Amino acid sequence: MRLENKVAIVTGGAMGNGLGITKVFLKEGAEVVILDYSDQLESTLLDLKKEYSTISGYQVDIRDKEAITNIVEEIYKEKGHIDILVNNAGVARLKTFLEMSDEIRDFHFDINIKGTWNVTKAVLPKMIAGNYGRIVNLSSVTGPMVADAGEVAYATTKSAILGFTKSLAREVVENNITVNAIMPGYIMTPMVEKIAKETDEQNPKSVVDGIAAGIPMKRLGTIEELGYLALFLASDESSYITGQGYVIDGGSTLPETKSVGV
C-alpha cells in the first residue's frame, strides 16, 4: 500500500473532494484525521469506521487558529508524526463584484486563504522535525486559468493558494517536504450541487447537464478521481515534484472557443 504507516490530515474531509481523498488514502493504508466544521463529520466517521480503524476526526473551524494549533499538537502527541497535509476545506459563494458584501468576501478569504495558512502553520513544524512531508493544497482552474461572472472572491482565493503553494515549496524543499496543488475543474461535489440548485431550483440537473455539455469528456469528474491525484502527490512516487499545480478537469480548459467546432 502506497501510504502505509503514514499519518495524513485532510481538512474538509467529511464530504465532497475531501471525502474522495480520505477514502483513497485509507484504502492505501494511511491513518487519516479529518478536520471539518460540518455536522456531516460524525456520520462520515461512523460510515468509514465500518471498514477502516485508521480514521478519526475533529469538528473544528479552520479559522480558529488556537483550536487548530491545539488539535494538531494532540494529533502529533498521539501519532508521533504527521506526514501528509491536504488543505482541501474551502467555500464558494457566487455574487458579482458589486453585489458582494465585505462579509462574504471575508468569508472566502478567511476560510480559503487564512484557514489553509492556519493549518499549514500548525503542521509544518512537525514535518520539519521529522524531515519529511507532503503538502497538497486545493486550488482550482478558477482564478489561475479561467473565471466566470460572480466568481471574483473565489477566484482570488484560489489564485492565492497557487502562489502560496509555489512560495512555500521553495522555503521547505531542504527539509524533504514537497508542496503541490490540485486545480480541479468541475467535480461532482455538494458545492456543485448547491450552485446548480441556486441557479435553477426547479431543475438543478439541467444545470449540471449544461456544465457537462461544455466539457470535452462530457461529464463531471468524481471525487475518487481527484482522490487518486492527491494520492500521487502525497506519496513517495512524486518525490521529485514540488511547487506545481495539477489540473484535473476533463479537458474543460482546452477549448479555444465554444463558438467554432470541427
Q: CA 171 to CA 122: how far, in whole Å?
A: 16
Residues 172, 229, 197, 151, CA torsion sign? positive
Cell numbers at residue 185, please?
475543474
Pair type for strands 55-59 and 84-87: unpaired
Distances (CA, A) of 168 to 96, 177, 207: 31, 10, 37
Catalytic sites, residue numbers: 154
What does the DSSP assignment read for 78-111?
HHS---EEEE---------TTT--HHHHHHHIII
C-alpha closest to that of 225 among 193, 189, 191, 192: 189
Please count the residues of the chain: 262
What does the DSSP assignment read for 120-149?
HHHHHHHHHHHT-EEEEEE--SBTTTB--T
CA angle 230–119–229, rounded 5-degree value = 5
